[in-house]
Amino acid sequence: MRQSVAMICLFGAVMAAGIQPAQGQSDTSRVTQSCVGKANKEKISAYVVLLRLRGDIYAKWKETGVWSADPEADKALDGHSLYWAHQLKIGHAITAGAMDGDYWDNVALIVFEAASSEEAESIVKADPAVRAHVFQAQVRPFNVFWLTNKFNPDTQVCGDAQPPASK
Q: Are 124 and 139 in contact (CB under 8 A)?
A: yes
Q: Write the DSSP symbol of residue 98.
A: E
More confident residue, 140 or 157: 140
Sign of the torsion formed by the C-alpha atoms of 81, 83, 84 and 88: positive
Of the listed ranges 29-33, 65-69, 120-124, 159-163, the least confidently predicted one is 29-33
- Does some domain include residue 19? no
In this prediction, residue 9 carries a pLDDT of 36
Over residues 90-119, the pLDDT tens digits come to 999 999 999 988 777 789 999 999 999 999
> Are 34 and 155 within 8 A, CB to CB?
yes
Q: How many domains does the chain have?
A: 1
Q: Is residue 115 part of a domain?
A: yes
Interval 66-89: pLDDT, tens? 877 889 999 999 999 999 999 999
- The predicted pLDDT at position 162 comes to 66
78 within 8 A of 86, measured Cβ to Cβ: no
Q: What's residue 128's pLDDT?
A: 98
Q: Which residue has the higher pLDDT, 5 or 86?
A: 86
- Round to whole Å and give the CA distance between 161 and 80: 39
Could you list the residue range(s) of the whole structural domain that residue 121 is in? 44-144
Q: What number is the average pLDDT over the span 121-128?
A: 98
- Residue 163 has what pLDDT? 66
DSSP string, 112-138: E--SSHHHHHHHHHTSHHHHTTSEEEE
pTM passes above 0.85 = no
Least confident interval from 16-20, 76-80, 120-124, 160-164: 16-20
Q: Is 90 a member of any domain? A: yes
9 lies in some domain: no
Residue 141: the pLDDT is: 98
Q: Does 25 score more than 90 pLDDT?
A: no
By the 8 A CB rule, do 68 and 61 touch? Answer: yes
Q: What angle do CA 66, 71, 77 make, to 5 degrees?
A: 80
What DSSP element (H or E) covers 45? strand 44-53
Percentage with pLDDT > 70 across the chain: 77
Q: What is the CATH number of the domain that holds 55?
A: 3.30.70.1060
Q: For the chain, give the mean pLDDT.
A: 81
Instruction: Report whether pLDDT(145) > 70.
Output: yes
